[in-house]
Structure 1
Amino acid sequence: MNELIEKINASYEALKADAELQAEKGNKAAGTRARKASLELEKLLKEFRKASLEASKG
């Protein structure tokens, strides 16, 4: 579970950095990277929810 949390944090940092570049400088490539990171973050958060539910049951 700790590894999953680290992946979530890394994905969030990538999303944050690229989103800021897009918003502040109009960097279109950063926008593409931010959207890709958001999809990855969504998958990781679903995995976290599943792992969290399993941990609370056991």
Structure 2
Amino acid sequence: MKELIEKINARFEAFKTDAQLLSEKGNKAAGTRARKSSRVLEKLLKEFRNTSMEN
């Protein structure tokens, strides 16, 4: 569970950085990375929800 939380935190930090680059500087590549991070975050959060229900 701790490893999963660390993955979520790391992916969220990457998302936050890329989303900020997109909004402040209009960096389109950062927007693509932010969208990808959001999809990965969605999967990780679903995994967290399932794992937490089992415990």
The alignment yields a C-alpha RMSD, in angstroms, of: 0.2
TM-score by length of 1: 0.94
Q: Quote the offset at 1:6 in angstroms.
A: 0.1
For structure 1, which runs of at least 5 residues remain unmatched after alignment?
none
For structure 2, which runs of at least 5 residues remain unmatched after alignment?
none
SS of equivalent residue, structure 2 residue 45: helix
What whole-Å deviation, never above 9, does each CA across 1:5-35 have from its counterpart, x for those lacking one? 0000001000000000000000000000000
**1:43 aligned residue:** 43
The whole-number CA distance in structure 2 between the counterparts of 1:23 and 1:8 is 22
2:36 counterpart of 1:32: no
The whole-number CA distance in structure 1 between the counterparts of 2:11 and 2:50 is 18
**Number of equivalences:** 55
Among all aligned residue pairs of Structure 1 and Structure 2, give the percentage whose two residues are the same amino acid: 73
TM-score by length of 2: 0.99
Q: Quote the offset at 1:45 in angstroms.
A: 0.0
